[in-house]
Amino acid sequence: MINHKRLGDLLFFCVSFVALVQVALLAMLSDVVISFIESKIRFCYAIISGVVRFDPAVFTVDFMIMVTYLLIWIALLLKLGSKLLAVSFKIITSHRYIKSLVVKTRQDIRLIINRKDLVFTAGFLSPQVFVSSNIRSRLEANEYKAVIEHEFFHARNYHPLKKLLLELFLFSFPRFIASRIMKSYEELTEIAADDYARKRGATNKEIASALVKLWEIDAHMGYYAVSFLQTRSRIGTITGAKESVFKYSFLFLLISSLFLFLMITFINGQELLLSCKIAYY
């Protein structure tokens, strides 16, 4: 049997490792760019002083190489900065939305009084399950229990926080790759939550029935939260009509590994650049 939880954790770990390499790359590029600027200032001073002879050919090639690195450095900084701003905005939006809810606690569940048809898990350091009071009346007892167990799994595994971190870690990835990885991770965690609900006594029929009954609810989460309804396409997996998405997650892992290899090669090139860099004086 496929362990979707482990696959999701593996995907998160690999992207986290790539994120560390991205930070190292950004740090090395910063060092290269700053060193280049300093060396060029000294080089210009040496030319003015008559200590060295100006060689246009060497200077032009070296300058073009460094402009390329400078553009990459600026692009990475801009992407990181824009991603940090976007994440910060979503965190604030999430906090304000949760604060706007009128809730009361009932057996580890935050029961929402002033909103209809909501069921989700939110919170980063202490995630909690939020459920609208009328959701209970729309579902059978076993279906409701399956939904709650599903959400408890998200809370116990800190999926809202991991979702936030994953989006941040993918800041330098091309958008289509980042979105594919995010979608794969969300589907893996949702199916893993369904697996947990089954271990707690729920059946495929009850999970699928709950999805169908709550189908018309808006499942879009503009804030950092995870929901039972977030990846409705998994209903085919629940009923056995289609295969799990784990194969696609491995494809994205392969793409991530290739991206990692390219970055490592790029980082190794920095040392070569630093060793033969602009010592005309």
> Which pLDDT belongs to residue 183?
84
> Which pLDDT belongs to residue 156?
92
Provide the percentage of residues in the chain whose pLDDT is more than 70. 72
Q: Residue 194: is its pLDDT beyond 80? A: yes
Q: Residue 157: is its pLDDT beyond 90? A: yes
> Which pLDDT belongs to residue 61?
66
Q: Which of 34-38, 56-60, 248-252 has the highest mean pLDDT?
A: 34-38
Tokens of 64: 């073009």
> Which pLDDT belongs to residue 259?
67
> Which pLDDT belongs to residue 132?
86
> Which pLDDT belongs to residue 152?
92
Closest CA to 226 of 145, 139, 167: 167
**Cα separation values, 120 from 225, 230, 263, Å:** 6, 9, 37
DSSP 68-91: HHHHHHHHHHHHHHHHHHHHHHHH
Calculate Rg over the CA atoms of the chain: 25
> Which pLDDT belongs to residue 280?
43
80-106 tens-digit pLDDT: 899 899 889 888 888 888 888 878 877
In one-letter notation, the amino acid at residue 47 is I
Tell me the pLDDT of the chain averaged across its residues: 77
User: Would you give the end-to-end CA distance of the chain in angstroms?
Assistant: 66
Closest CA to 230 of 144, 118, 133, 124: 118
Q: Is 87 exposed, middle or buried (0-12, 13-18, 19+ CB in 10 A)?
A: middle
Higher pLDDT, 232 or 160: 160
Q: Is 70 exposed, middle or buried (0-12, 13-18, 19+ CB in 10 A)?
A: middle
Q: Which of 72-86, 107-121, 262-276 has the highest mean pLDDT?
A: 72-86
The span from the CA of 221 to the CA of 243, in Å, is 25
CA–centroid distance for 108 within its chain: 27
Tokens of 193: 């939550």
24-57 tens-digit pLDDT: 778 877 877 777 777 777 777 777 776 666 666 6
DSSP the chain: ---HHHHHHHHHHHHHHHHHHHHHHHHHHHHHHHHHHHHHHHHHHHHHHTSS---HHHHHHHHHHHHHHHHHHHHHHHHHHHHHHHHHHHHHHHHHHHHHS-EEEETTEEEESSSSS-EEEE-SSS-EEEEETTHHHHS-HHHHHHHHHHHHHHHHTTHHHHHHHHHHHTTTS-HHHHHHHHHHHHHHHHHHHHHHHHHTT--HHHHHHHHHHTTTS----SSSEE-TTTTGGGHHHHHTSS--THHHHHHHHHHHHHHHHHHHHHHHHHHHHHHTS----
Higher pLDDT, 52 or 220: 52
